[in-house]
Structure 1
Amino acid sequence: MWYLNMNAVMAMSGMILVLALTRWWPHNKRVLLLAFNLCFLLVFSKKLFIFYVVYTLLNYLGFLFLCHVTKWRQGWFITAIVLNVAGVSCLRLFGMKVLENPLFDTVILLGLIYNVLKVIDAYYFAYFFGKDARVKLMDYANFILFVPTFTSGPILKFKDFMADTKQPYRLNAAQVEDSIKRIIKGMFKKIVLVTWMTDLFNHMQAQELHTHQSLFLMIWFYALIFFDFSGYSDIAIGFGRLMGYNMPENFKKPFQSPTLTQFWRNWHATLGDWFREHIFMFFSRQAPSRWTAAGLSVLIMVLIGLWHGFSWLYFLYGLYHGIVMALENLLGKSTVNKKKVSRAYFYARCLLTQAIVTFSVIVYSGSEDTVFKIYRGLFHWPWS
């Protein structure tokens, strides 16, 4: 969201310049970044600023408590997670107008579904490492409020971010060049490609649809979503690295995924990784059986669906992907080694995976009317 606002882009560019000019100061990345994150939110929205100051402080206190507490440790851990999930769920209900309160402002939801995942990751770290997980409030706040990834990821890992925090701000010419190229590529995707593709999609879906048109729109929207999501990730990764932090890749050649299981390791990779790591870690400490892995696949994908939105369409989207992944686990087909199969077989599996994804990705359009219209169009033969 920030990256379509030139003032926000200029502010982040200015922050990078300040970091570069003060690189002689060993704590510039920590102190100046916190000041920037807080000032950025304050200028954007006072309500957002107040909400996140309170939200960050409360969770930091919970984080420290979990680092030190020994009695009923698991209970406190689960309580912290449940409270955060309940909080974000309630705010989503306010955003959907299911609940109403004059204090609610939709801007408060900005970035929360991403940041609650980071908060929970920090609780996991505190639970498993105890006192060794302790960090200063400044570093914890920077982790939660990190502006480049605030609204749409990639989702940062607590331990990786803290490891980067300990390193001095240092960039070489090659890193700067690569990051700037990444930002430019992302801007081109978001501003040029996505804008043009969205206009064409809206124009076509407003007409009466037949089978070939619905199929085209499904494929077209899939490409649109890829350029949109990956474009944002490119920009966030570029700015994040220029601020001195290693940003994880979010898209790892997803179109070359021979199974749906591998697809979710390559598409929005940090989201899929987060759910796999935290759900498997919680429910299955040891290597799971095929049936356990299948059941957890369904659970994880349903949660990912609901994470995108509280609607039955997103629930069915997650269930659909979960069932396919469960079948892959049960049949022992969850991975395909490109080096051990023929080229034709590998790409046939890739094509099948893309067909499975294309059939469902239209749910991301966010409009039930659009989704139903395109699905109905599949059965509207042009000669009927």
Structure 2
Amino acid sequence: MVFSSTIFLFVFLPIVLAIYYQPWFSSRAFRNRFLLIASLLFYAWGEPVFVFLMMLSIAFGWFVGRHVGEGDRRSRTSRRRWLAFGVSFHVGLLFIFKYLTFAAQQLGLLLHADFSAIHIALPIGISFFTFQLLSYLFDIYYGKAQAQRSVLNVGLYIALFPQLIAGPIVRYDTIEQQIEHRRENVHDFADGMMRFIYGFGKKVLVADYMAAIADHVFSMSGTGVPLSVATAWIGAAAYTFQIYFDFSGYSDMAIGLGKMFGFHFPENFNYPYISRSATEFWRRWHISLGSWFRDYVYIPLGGNRVSRQRWVWNLFVVWALTGIWHGANWTFLWWGLLYFVLLLAEKLTRFPEKLGVFAHVYTMAAVTVGWTVFRSPDLSFARHYIGMMLGRHSAGLFDFAAQFFLTQGAFVWGMAIVLSLPVVPYLQRRFSSHVLGRVGEPILATGIFLVSILVTIGSNYHPFIYFNF
């Protein structure tokens, strides 16, 4: 079940809200238990078997967390051993379900053996809920939060349906107090509805349209059809917009849903396509993932407070893991290492500062090429596609296909560019106290919702990209 489906919008969400806010049982215990049950049903709708895997992970995380948190009765060495035990278990599960099939394939190629019998299905959202469980253990170990006595509260933190499938990755120390002490109110509920609608519109009206262009262009290349330079760049640009509006739209919907139930999740995007360096881009893109690796990997390794050689190694480890986190494919590793090289070069030379107005051009070119590698099924495809973007084996500079994709979707292209800029926050600040803002924004949101519903009903469904990770 996904947020843009009619079953979620018109059945699941209204029923959950009606029961959650009914006046007869309004205790925090009832609402938390009900949200947990609803969240498990939400996950079981698409993963009827793997929901038990998630429940096992939750129970084990709670059990280990109790032992890690017993600082007064256990030595630091004992707590560290329990932490290592918990981390090994969760990382081991992640490896088995996400990477074992790929590892077996690569080993088979190396040994000229057949390991095709090893094929394990990937549970949706396993990377996200595994990282949240690790956050739970780390925050307890470092003394940032207290271990939960109730396994049901740990279950709510992990399985809470707004952020369960594709984030944002909510750190335990961020939400610990909200589990028992949040306060729902009308203002948050209305703000959450508005945020959800904006995210819904970004996903359905922009991301799905760009997905059609990107899929068409990339599939043309996959069948051996030579692309013009312009068409190749248009396909890459379409995917660049698709992945942003798809993922940031989901994050907007998740944050909005959280507010409707009294939770305040961290922001996950801050207009990354206005960045003037790869370093700045990663401060603005998938913020929850970047901060997770910074606080739980980079800093514990020593960060930049070590020798230069060790610092380069720390940076390499973080970006290799960032790439691998996204999937079991060499393309993801090379995508992560691309950013390792870019960030290392930027930190050592500070060359983006010397580019002036061209710093943004450099950043977006690098990001677009990176997304091309990310989108490609293998490295050979990526190399060939990027070659056509640079004019190698291409069908000229411009062709009818490029003209068609640009002219037929001119309005959506324009909307994608404008919404990639901080225009909406500016308008909200500018007119927040004006009658036009107080009346016009709800009308605008209603229109976006109705148009998005019509498009959802009348078009083929496209799943969220990050469901695969």
1:280 to partner: Cα distance: 2.5
- Assess if the C-alpha contact under 8 Å between 2:214 and 2:236 holds in 1: no
Partner deviation per Cα, 1:202-242 (whole Å, 9 max, x = no partner) = 33331421322222222221111111111111111111111
AA in 1 matched with 2:8: A
- Give the whole-Å Cα distance in 1 for the aligned partners of 2:241 and 2:45: 34
- Give the whole-Å Cα distance in 2 for the aligned partners of 1:109 and 1:86: 14
SS of equivalent residue, structure 2 residue 313: helix
Residue 377 of structure 1 is aligned with which of 388, 403, 409? 388
- Matching of residue 352 in structure 1 with residue 362 in structure 2: yes
Greater mean alpha carbon deviation, residues 181-190 or residues 369-378: 369-378
* Structure whose CA Rg is larger: 2
Paired position in structure 1 for 2:98: 92
Please show how residues 94-109 of structure 1 align to structure 2 within 5 Å. 96=102, 98=105, 106=121, 109=123
- Assess if the C-alpha contact under 8 Å between 1:34 and 1:138 holds in 2: yes
- Give the whole-Å Cα distance in 2 for the aligned partners of 1:325 and 1:66: 35
> Quick one: structure 1 residues 43 and 72, their matched pair in 2 at CA, closer, same or farther if it must change by over 3 Å?
same
Greater mean alpha carbon deviation, residues 18-27 or residues 63-72: 18-27
- Give the whole-Å Cα distance in 2 for the aligned partners of 1:243 and 1:95: 38
SS of equivalent residue, structure 2 residue 142: helix
Please show how residues 1-384 of structure 1 align to structure 2 within 5 Å. 2-9=2-9, 10-22=11-23, 24-68=26-70, 69-70=74-75, 71-93=77-99, 96=102, 98=105, 106=121, 109-129=123-143, 132-173=146-187, 175-205=188-218, 206=220, 207-284=225-302, 287=305, 292-331=310-349, 345=356, 347-368=357-378, 370-378=381-389, 379-383=392-396
- Give the whole-Å Cα distance in 2 for the aligned partners of 1:333 and 1:172: 49
AA in 2 matched with 1:34: L
- Assess if the C-alpha contact under 8 Å between 2:335 and 2:370 holds in 1: yes
- Assess if the C-alpha contact under 8 Å between 1:290 and 1:329 holds in 2: no
- Assess if the C-alpha contact under 8 Å between 2:276 and 2:363 holds in 1: yes
> Quick one: structure 1 residues 293 and 351, their matched pair in 2 at CA, closer, same or farther if it must change by over 3 Å?
farther
- Give the whole-Å Cα distance in 2 for the aligned partners of 1:223 and 1:233: 15
- Give the whole-Å Cα distance in 2 for the aligned partners of 1:273 and 1:313: 23
Unaligned 5+ segments in structure 1 are none
1:313 to partner: Cα distance: 1.4
Paired position in structure 1 for 2:443: none
Unaligned 5+ segments in structure 2 are 106-114, 398-469
Please give the root-mean-square deviation of Cα atoms over the aligned residues, in Å.
2.8
1:348 to partner: Cα distance: 2.9
SS of equivalent residue, structure 1 residue 251: coil
- Assess if the C-alpha contact under 8 Å between 1:60 and 1:137 holds in 2: yes
Greater mean alpha carbon deviation, residues 44-53 or residues 124-133: 124-133
> Quick one: structure 1 residues 17 and 296, their matched pair in 2 at CA, closer, same or farther if it must change by over 3 Å?
farther
Partner deviation per Cα, 1:250-277 (whole Å, 9 max, x = no partner) = 1101122222122111111111111111
Greater mean alpha carbon deviation, residues 135-144 or residues 300-309: 135-144
- Give the whole-Å Cα distance in 1 for the aligned partners of 2:241 and 2:180: 39
- Give the whole-Å Cα distance in 1 for the aligned partners of 2:307 and 2:250: 37
1:41 to partner: Cα distance: 3.3
Partner deviation per Cα, 1:18-46 (whole Å, 9 max, x = no partner) = 32334842434322212222333344443
> Quick one: structure 1 residues 178 and 127, their matched pair in 2 at CA, closer, same or farther if it must change by over 3 Å?
same
Number of residue equivalences: 373
1:142 to partner: Cα distance: 0.5
- Give the whole-Å Cα distance in 2 for the aligned partners of 1:27 and 1:317: 44
AA in 1 matched with 2:138: Y
- Assess if the C-alpha contact under 8 Å between 1:179 and 1:241 holds in 2: yes
AA in 2 matched with 1:87: L
SS of equivalent residue, structure 1 residue 252: coil
AA in 1 matched with 2:269: F
- Give the whole-Å Cα distance in 2 for the aligned partners of 1:183 and 1:351: 32
- Give the whole-Å Cα distance in 1 for the aligned partners of 2:258 and 2:46: 19
Greater mean alpha carbon deviation, residues 131-140 or residues 205-214: 131-140
- Assess if the C-alpha contact under 8 Å between 1:94 and 1:100 holds in 2: no
1:11 to partner: Cα distance: 1.4
- Give the whole-Å Cα distance in 2 for the aligned partners of 1:143 and 1:169: 16
> Quick one: structure 1 residues 219 and 41, their matched pair in 2 at CA, closer, same or farther if it must change by over 3 Å?
closer
1:377 to partner: Cα distance: 1.5
> Quick one: structure 1 residues 130 and 66, their matched pair in 2 at CA, closer, same or farther if it must change by over 3 Å?
farther
- Give the whole-Å Cα distance in 1 for the aligned partners of 2:275 and 2:144: 38
> Quick one: structure 1 residues 38 and 313, their matched pair in 2 at CA, closer, same or farther if it must change by over 3 Å?
closer
Greater mean alpha carbon deviation, residues 127-136 or residues 220-229: 127-136
